[in-house]
Chains A and B, each alone.
Chain A
Amino acid sequence: MNALLHGRLTGLLALAAAIAILPAFLPNNFYLDIAILAGFNAVVCVGLNLLIGYAGQISLGHAGFFGIGAYASGVLVGTYGWPPIVALLAGAAFVGLLAFLVAKPILRLKGHYLAMATLGIGIIVSIVLRTESGLTGGPDGMMVEPFKIFGVELYGEKVWYWVVGVLLVGVVWLSLNLIDSPMGRALRAVHGSEVAAEVVGVDTARFKVLVFVLSAVFASVAGSLFAHYAGLITPAKADFFKSIELVTMVVFGGMASTFGAVVGAVVLTLLPQALTIFQDYQQIVLGGILMATMVFMPKGLLPTLAALLPARRRA
């Protein structure tokens, strides 16, 4: 577990191996579907963790970027007949631009104020998606064409599982690279002390904007692919609750830990499914588990477990 956190390649290989052997243990497409959803969430969370865990900036609006990516693909491919990959890139570019424009003014804010401002972004996006029904199909959502590239149509859980798996490994690789670079250290320095970062030459505003844009683009790409996979998207995918869910995954898994973000996303995607045995009390049990985790493991799941291992070896 320690190697998972510290060894860059070891961790990446372990993740790739886990993804490769997992389907052997999944009896049917229902489980494969949950794994794919967990994968999409993990991609978003790895990006969001760069912002929240490493740079120390909160966002309660990232589902909005996920939603824009999803709807960009849905509308551009379905209504305008764009090739899916072009629509995905266009969506990501648009989200990048939008994130850049909103980040400049709002990242001056700190703590609760930043949370409120990002909350606003998510709410605006979901209102637009609900009300522009001519374009988006309104609250009922819209159907999305399948993803075709070079004449090949991505279809079925088995294919999508590998698409999402490769995407996740790629995103984790990028994230690990970034963290272990001068820019990554600058981001962590922004979290540690902005004024101290500034006096050794870190343009803190620039790096905050950059990481906000980067994490938004990750969310948009995941949103686009999700739309093609699911075939149906609704504004609920972009709303406040989805944003909260994403932040919860990052915090639950362990902030400032890329693999923690993956673990958080996977566990919190699975948990509600597993808790259906509690029927009406499902939400209460889920809430209880979340509270207990934060009380007893304030650093999140993965860092806490990682810290336990060497201690036990020493004992």
Chain B
Amino acid sequence: MKMLATTDLSPDTTTQARRVGPPILKVEHLSREFGGVLAIGDLSFSIAAGDIHSIIGPNGAGKTTLFNLVTGVYKPSGGRVLFDGADVSGMAPYRLAARGMSRTFQNLQIFFNMTALENVMVGRHLHLNTRLLPALFRFPSLVRKDREAKDRAAQLMADVGLEKYVDADAASMPYGALKRLEIARALASEPKLLLLDEPAAGLNATESREIDEVIKTVAASGVTIVLVEHDMKMVMGISHRITALNQGRMLAEGTPQEVGANPDVIAAYLGAAP
């Protein structure tokens, strides 16, 4: 989790030099409708391992629906989701987590009935003994691993800049800190693929820059990132690739420069020129 000073993640210098990894996530002809309204229609694209890949698009473009389809919160009406080469369409989120996929939420999903540290410790769930009898009788092996999990969770909180909230109740923390707490919790599960749904939404410029750093650090540690974000400065600054959606369909895909210069993308954001 240490930021490697030598890893240059800024896309403008790396677009040509970067080696593109094999796809870690692929969606093929994915679609989802809600009561006849198509939220995602025949969408196909892939995300290369090691990338920071952003999904952009105006409100209602289907970004969050796409996240929910990929992470198993919704089941697709058609098409497939391939994670690490396996068809995981409609697989329950907890199974996907065991395969190495985790996410954060646009509207915070925090365990407000716990401390911040416990929130992150829940993220260690897959790596701990979660059976009933060892818990009831407090097996020594369980206690030892739990203590390690606690240290690890505290370290993760420090990594995202939350060291001063380690003992805080989650319910007492400010919004910006909770955004990071979600990232720390997701990281605790040791995902290969991390989907961040608007991590900078509602943050001020300073907080937003800090999140930016956290994301780069996480990516540098080898985690593939899928990012939905409205903060275009952030998206253009850290993404290796961008997929632009509009009304549930693919609008454009490419490097930040390519997508930023695409007339369809500009039209979708600013309204089409007459």
B-binding residues in A (CB < 8 A): 174, 177-178, 181-186, 188-189, 191-193, 195-204, 210, 214, 256
Contacts and interface: CB of A to CB of B under 8 A. Distances in A.
A195 B186 CA distance: 12
A196 B135 contact: no
Contact of A202 (B94, B109, B188): B94
Interface in B125-156: 125-126, 128-132, 134-138, 142, 146, 149
B146 to A, nearest CB: 6
A65 to B, nearest CB: 17
A-B pairs with lowest CB-CB distance, top 4 = A192-B111, A181-B135, A196-B109, A201-B97
A200 B186 contact: yes
Contacts of A210: 132
Given A196-B111, A199-B97, A183 B189 contact: no
Interface of B: 71-73, 92-94, 96-98, 102-103, 105, 109-114, 118, 121-126, 128-132, 134-138, 142, 146, 149, 182, 185-186, 188-189
A189 B118 CA distance: 9
B111 A189 contact: yes
Contact of A200 (B110, B118, B122, B131): B122
Contacts of B134: 181
B102 A192 contact: no
Given A199-B71, A214-B132, A182 B124 contact: yes
B125 A195 contact: no
Nearest to A210: B132
B129 A182 contact: yes
A186 B137 CA distance: 17
Contacts of A188: 111, 113-114, 118
B130 A183 contact: yes
B185 A186 contact: no
Contacts of A183: 130-132, 135
Contacts of B126: 200-201
A182 B93 contact: no
Contacts of B185: 196, 200
B105 A198 contact: no
Nearest to A214: B132
Nearest to A213: B132
B189 A200 contact: yes
A279 B128 CA distance: 56
Contacts of B189: 200-201
Contacts of A214: 132
Nearest to B102: A199
A196 B189 CA distance: 12
Given A177-B138, A178-B135, A195-B109, 13 more contacts: A181-B142, A182-B125, A182-B146, A183-B135, A185-B114, A185-B121, A186-B130, A192-B114, A195-B93, A199-B96, A200-B97, A200-B102, A200-B125
Q: Is the interface of A mostly helix, strand, loop or mixed?
A: helix
A186 B110 contact: no
A192 B113 contact: yes
Nearest to A198: B93
Contacts of B122: 185-186, 189, 197, 200, 202
A210 to B, nearest CB: 6
A201 B127 CA distance: 10
A177 B138 CA distance: 6
Contacts of B93: 195, 198-199
Given A191-B113, A192-B111, A182 B135 contact: yes
Contacts of A191: 111, 113
Given A177-B138, A203-B94, A193 B109 contact: yes
Nearest to A53: B113
Interface centre among A178, A182, A204, A210 (most CB of B within 10 A): A182
B136 A177 contact: yes
Given A185-B118, A185-B122, A198-B94, A177 B137 contact: yes
A198 B109 CA distance: 11
B98 A201 contact: yes
Contacts of A174: 136-137
Contacts of A203: 92, 94
A96 to B, nearest CB: 11
A33 B126 CA distance: 47
A202 B92 CA distance: 10
Contact of B105 (A186, A192, A196, A201): A196
Nearest to A174: B136
A185 B124 CA distance: 10
Nearest to A176: B138
A191 B123 CA distance: 15
B180 to A, nearest CB: 15
Tell me which of B112, B124, B125, B142 has the highest count of chain A C-beta atoms within 10 A of its own C-beta: B125
A256 B171 CA distance: 15
B146 A181 contact: yes
B136 A198 contact: no
A203 B130 CA distance: 11
Contact of B111 (A177, A193, A198): A193
A143 B113 CA distance: 45
A188 B188 CA distance: 17
Given A191-B113, A200-B189, A178 B103 contact: no
Contact of B188 (A192, A200, A256): A200
Contacts of B98: 201
A192 B112 CA distance: 6
A200 B112 CA distance: 16
